């Protein structure tokens, strides 16, 4: 049974933005303008975008590692018999070394 890698975070931009805007009254009670035109909300949106991009990159690297791991297993013959057949053909033929000379 193959092990599956854990999902780091599946939140998208909207969820990240909404969570950050909901935290504003807790962290900054004097901040009362939560409209999109507010520069503070614009910064929150920027950070939500950056967080989503980083989460996507982490997830993409996990996918690449899985692909590389499968390829490596295929090459050494763990995921299929292709590599095992190649090694058996290479090792099945033994020729004497011409430098040693024959007796």
pLDDT digits (tens, 9 = 90+) for 19-33: 999 999 999 999 888
Would you mind telling me the total number of residues written for the chain in this entry? 103
Give the closest residue to 40 by CA, choosing from 62, 13, 21: 21
pTM of this structure? 0.57
Residue written as token pair 């057949």 = 85
User: Do the Cβ atoms of 17 and 44 come closer than 8 Å?
Assistant: yes
CA 78 to chain centre: 22
Q: What percent of the chain has pLDDT over 90?
A: 31
35 has a pLDDT exceeding 90 = no
What is the C-alpha to C-alpha distance for residues 78 and 22, in angstroms, rounded to an integer?
50
pLDDT at residue 49, as a whole number:
94
pLDDT digits (tens, 9 = 90+) for 50-89: 999 998 888 888 888 888 877 777 777 654 554 444 444 4
């Amino acid at each position: 049974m193959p092990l599956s890698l854990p999902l780091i975070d599946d939140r998208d931009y909207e969820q990240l933005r909404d969570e950050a805007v909901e935290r504003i009254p807790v962290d900054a009670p004097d901040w009362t303008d939560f409209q999109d035109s507010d520069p503070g909300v614009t910064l929150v949106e920027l950070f939500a975008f950056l967080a989503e991009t980083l989460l996507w990159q982490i997830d993409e690297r996990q996918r690449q590692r899985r692909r590389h791991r499968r390829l490596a297993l295929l090459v050494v013959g763990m995921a299929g018999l292709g590599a095992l057949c190649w090694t058996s053909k290479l090792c099945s033929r033994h020729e004497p070394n011409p430098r040693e000379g024959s007796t």
